[in-house]
Amino acid sequence: MRDEPRRTLAARLEDRDRRRFTGRRTEIAFLDQCLDAADPPASVVHVCGPGGIGKSTLLREVGRRARDRGRTVVTLDGRELGPGSALDDTLRAVAGDDRPVILLDSYEQMTALDPHLRHELLPTLPDASLVVIAGRGVPDPGWFAGGWESVTARLDLAAMPPDEASSLLAAHGVFDERVPAIVDWAAGSPLALALAADAANADAGWNAARSPDRPDILRSLLHRLVETELQDVRPSALSIAVVARSTSPELLRAVLPDEDAGEAYRQLSGLTVTEPLGNGVMMHDLVRKVLLADLRLRNPDLERDLRRKIADYLYERAIAGDPLLIIDMAHLVENPLIKWGFGWDGSLGMRIDTVRPGDAEQARRGRSVGSDPTLWPAILRYFTEAPARVAIARDDSDQMCGYMVCMSLATAPSFADSDPLMGPWLAHARANAGLGDSVLWQSAVDFSGEGKVQAMLGIAGVLRSGAVSPRFAYLPIDTRVRGAIDFAKAIGAQHVPELDAMFDTLQLLCYRLDYGPGGLFALVRNQIYAELGLPRPASAEPVRAPVVDLETVRELLKNFRVPRELARSPIARGSSVAERAEYVRDLVRRAAAEAFGDSETEKLLHSVLIAGYLEPLRSHEEAASRLCMSRAAYFRRLRTAVERLAEHMAVGSGHREPPRS
């Protein structure tokens, strides 16, 4: 009896990889045509996408399909391609085959060979050859010029849609109730899905919704996604790009005044994990998520300080006349209850659009408030008679995912007064118009069932209402929609029972939100400060005083126990050395008491400042020991505390006249 051939580990890996491959139906269909057709649509295919999006997995599947067809397959990885003529030797070795398939992975590591590949190597291959090139960057323009455009195609791998992501998890043995949370956490990245599946299989108690920042998963993602690419990027600029929704040169200059913002921006915009957004760049969602979690694990103080500085910059720009920045400000809010109804993070693949023919019928058929037979005629009038008051949320395939009807006192159409919902609300808003304008939602309907469209409609409503700086917001709360009342309460809205409306099949509650005298921008900044454990930013006008910069504050702290030096300060007041010095000390003490919040981290920063300067011990080393901190951690926090104090004094809250006894 003959022995069965021994099965190899390589064969086992191949079988497992084949069973786990799912999705990418459109790309596979195109590549199958390239393998099978007598006149293929392309002989050179560039597969492009960020790290972790599945380029290498797709190449392996193409290799299997090619071998199943009896074709010779050669695979080269740019990460393993050392110096010498390995590429030349490999391609020339298959030049005698009738239909070779060449797979070049990690091509960003070998782009210097572009001209050589096009002009010397590929032209010598047989006519029926197929070359598939996978890389993080975009192909060189030379691939689409000089005749190459007739045989070259480009496939951009996008995030996996939820159904394909769920299928991938199933292929990895994950079928349970944790699937939706993992799909949401992974943001369409096959690599993240696979790593999360491994974690779910190894730990039945792990849930991505409750503990998304597992260090082992983060380390694997960081290594596989970005470790090599980010080595030369300035850490400070990278941290800003991780915290902010969009990073512009102006933002970098504002937050990093002592660094070369232009060079930092060029580095960020040259990464394959960023893409243009407005006048800045945005980090790919999964990469941002992973780097943000890593930043919080390594340096939570820096992350919090950057979030505050970015919020301040956006606030100043917004109130100066750039209202669209409310989207970027909302990105910095972390409270999940608020983000349910006010945010833009779920907008990947979504956009806000105007009304088109047929939209009203789609809205009527949708699983929504609009299906109520009593309310629908009122909603329909806005679609047909006031379409400017309607906004439609659409996905990448142009399907309606939700809609809203929103207005201000000035933009409400005349028929709105007869609307059974809007009529009483408009009357109530007009009675309070002396305090400021109002933005009123007649409806805000999310067809997705995931709440992400709802959040977009919240911001879009404010921007499209016509209210320049509204004081109040009137929110229709459908009690059947999970999370709606929690959102209203979390954002501080108050129930106004007399404005509730009952229809045949539902009850809509009226919640009114008072943004406060500072309007929506101040409300959002106050929310960010509250989450950081900081006191609400002072709104009073500062008393005019000499400018206090970081260097001035450092000098004050260094000489805090030297009256004659303090008396020489330009901010000192009084007729004697003692009086002037005490004035400065009192100014600094009050500023220190106001500059820090109530969280444990904020209290620690305040304690470090006290021990280091205001009530100093014999040495900084003794202060670090007394606070049970390492020397490095102590000095890092001391530097942060001094910068915070300087910023607080610079905006004027530390300049006001001390109270007289």
In angstroms, rounded to a whole number, what is the distance separating the alpha carbons of residues 354 and 467? 18
- Please give the pLDDT value at position 574: 75
Q: Which helix (H) or strand (E) holds 570?
A: none
Given pLDDT bands bounded at 50, 70 and 90, which one contains residue 456?
A: confident
Range of lowest pLDDT (27-31, 222-226, 541-545): 541-545
Q: Give residues with Cβ within 8 angstroms of 597, minimum separation 6.
A: 529, 532, 533, 534, 535
pLDDT tens digits, one per residue of 92-126: 888 788 899 999 988 887 877 888 888 888 888 88
Pairs from 108-111 (Cβ < 8 Å, separation ≥ 24):
108/78, 108/135, 108/136, 108/137, 108/272, 109/78, 109/79, 109/81, 110/78, 110/81, 111/135, 111/137, 111/140
Helix-strand-coil percent breakdown of the chain, rounded to 5? Answer: 50, 10, 35
Residue 284, sorted as left (phi over 0), alpha (psi -120 to 50) or beta, turns out to be beta
Given pLDDT bands bounded at 50, 70 and 90, which one contains residue 40?
A: very high
Indicate if the pLDDT at residue 176 is higher than 80. yes
- Please give the pLDDT value at position 193: 83
Residue 596, sorted as left (phi over 0), alpha (psi -120 to 50) or beta, turns out to be beta
CA 93 to chain centre: 47
CATH assignment, 9-156: 3.40.50.300
pLDDT, mean over the chain: 83
Retrieve residue 162's tokens: 């939820």
- Please give the pLDDT value at position 348: 58
- Please give the pLDDT value at position 650: 66
What are the Cα distances from residue 338, in Å, to 48, 69, 288, 430?
Answer: 36, 54, 21, 27
Q: Which helix (H) or strand (E) holds 101?
A: strand 101-105
Write a three-state SS string for 261-309.
HHHHHHHHHCCCCEEEECCEEEECHHHHHHHHHHHHHHCHHHHHHHHHH
- Annotate 413-444 with b (16+ C-beta within 10 A) or e (fewer): eeebeebebbbbbbebbeeeeeebbbbbbbbb
Indicate if the pLDDT at residue 230 is higher than 80. no
- Please give the pLDDT value at position 528: 93
Q: Are the C-beta atoms of residues 183 and 162 closer than 8 Å to each other?
A: yes
- The vertex-500 CA angle with 497 and 501, nearest 5°, equals 160
Given pLDDT bands bounded at 50, 70 and 90, which one contains residue 215?
A: low
- Please give the pLDDT value at position 542: 33
A 10 A CB-CB count for 36 gives 10
- Please give the pLDDT value at position 370: 43
- Please give the pLDDT value at position 32: 94
Summary count for the chain: helices (H), strands (E): 28, 15
Retrieve residue 483's tokens: 């999370």
Pairing of strands 44-48, 152-156: parallel
- Please give the pLDDT value at position 652: 47
Q: What is the mean pLDDT of residues 321-346?
A: 81
Given pLDDT bands bounded at 50, 70 and 90, which one contains residue 209?
A: low
**pTM score of the predicted model:** 0.66
- Annotate 161-187 with b (16+ C-beta within 10 A) or e (fewer): beebbbebbebbebeeebbebbbbbbb
Fold of the domain spanning 336-527: Aminopeptidase (3.40.630)
Q: Which of these, 42, 11, 15, lies nearest to 133 by C-alpha position? A: 42
pLDDT tens digits, one per residue of 462-506: 888 877 678 899 999 988 887 888 888 888 899 999 999 988 777
DSSP classification of residue 4 = P
Given pLDDT bands bounded at 50, 70 and 90, which one contains residue 541?
A: very low
pLDDT tens digits, one per residue of 177-208: 888 888 887 778 887 788 788 778 877 777 77
Q: What is the mean pLDDT of residues 45-65?
A: 88
Rounded to whole angstroms, the maximal C-alpha distance in the chain is 112
Retrieve residue 187's tokens: 């943001």
Indicate if the pLDDT at residue 372 is higher than 80. no
Given pLDDT bands bounded at 50, 70 and 90, which one contains residue 627?
A: confident
Indicate if the pLDDT at residue 217 is higher than 80. no
- Please give the pLDDT value at position 345: 66
Find tokens 């320049």 and name the residue: 468
Which SS3 state, helix, strand or coil, does residue 565 take?
helix
- Please give the pLDDT value at position 201: 81
Residue, of 256 and 80, whose pLDDT is higher: 256
Q: Which helix (H) or strand (E) holds 392?
A: strand 390-395
- Please give the pLDDT value at position 543: 36
Q: Which of these, 155, 175, 126, 122, lies nearest to 41 by C-alpha position? A: 155
Indicate if the pLDDT at residue 651 is higher than 90. no
In angstroms, rounded to a whole number, what is the distance separating the alpha carbons of residues 131 and 47? 11
